[in-house]
Amino acid sequence: MDLHLPSGKVDLVDQKTASPIQKPKTERHRMSSRLAGKVAIITGAGSGIGRAAAELFAAEGARVMCADIHAEAVRQTANAIGAAAISATVDVSVPEQVERMVLETASAFGRLDVMYANAGIGEAANVIDLTIEQWNRMIAINLTSVWLSAKYALPHLIKAGGGSIINQSSSAGLIGIPGVPHYAAAKAGVIGLTRQIAAEYGPLNIRCNAICPSAIPTPLMVTVWEKRARDAKSTASIPEQEVAAAAKLPLRRLGTTADCANLALFLASDESSWISGVAMPLDGGLTAT
Which residues have a catalytic role annotated?
183
The distance in angstroms from the start CA to the end CA of the chain is 43
In sequence order, what are the residues at sequence separation of 6 or more whose Cβ sits closer than 8 angstroms to the Cβ of residue 115?
A: 40, 41, 149, 150, 153, 157, 163, 164, 165, 166
CA distances from residue 25 to 19, 80, 257, 281 in whole angstroms, order as listed: 13, 18, 10, 21
Rg (CA), the chain: 18
**Which runs of consecutive H residues, i.e. helices, occur in the chain?**
48-59, 71-81, 95-109, 132-139, 145-159, 181-201, 219-231, 238-247, 257-268
CA distances from residue 27 to 14, 16, 173 in whole angstroms, order as listed: 7, 10, 33
On whether the CB atoms of residues 146 and 117 are closer than 8 A, the answer is yes
Q: At what angle do helices 48-59 and 71-81 cross, to 10 degrees?
A: 20
192-226: burial string, b at 16+ Cβ within 10 Å, e else = ebbbebbeebeeeebbbbbbbbbbbbbebbbebbe
